[in-house]
Amino acid sequence: MTANQFTVTERAAKRIAEILNGEANARMMRVSVDGGGCSGFQYRFDLVAADEPGDLVVSRSGVKVVVDPVSLPYMAGSELDFVDDLIGAQFKVKNPLAKASCGCGTSFSV
């Protein structure tokens, strides 16, 4: 899969950079999909020191986001954004493959 199948918005890149600035060992953010959540799957966000073999690495404004090869098919065509609104501030994955999602936007089904 190519990098254009998972993108990172400028807002997300800026927020990741702010978070990484306060972390001694983390160099990038990993976005993955885990089983669970009220809709079947849920997104997971971790700060990591390095990418793993087979990871998709997406760079934006000097920030790297990695997606593992198992999670990528569930997020093909998705966009990672950072939203700060009345409900709160959070990373949000806009996933065109999600057929349903929960109210908080952290879990989905395909």
Quote the pLDDT of residue 1: 45
Strand residues in 1-110 grouped as ranges (E): 6-8, 28-35, 41-48, 56-60, 63-67, 78-85, 88-94, 100-101, 107-109
Q: Given the structure tokens 């885990």, which residue do they identify?
A: 34
Q: Provide the residue-wise pLDDT of the chain in tens; the chain has 110 residues.
A: 455 589 999 999 999 999 999 899 999 999 999 877 565 788 899 999 999 999 999 999 999 999 999 999 989 999 999 999 887 888 999 988 887 565 545 555 55
Helices (H), the chain: 10-21, 72-75
User: Domains in the chain and their CATH numbers?
Assistant: 3-102 (2.60.300.12)
* Confidence at residue 101, expressed as pLDDT on a 0 to 100 scale: 61
Identify the three-state secondary structure at position 103. coil
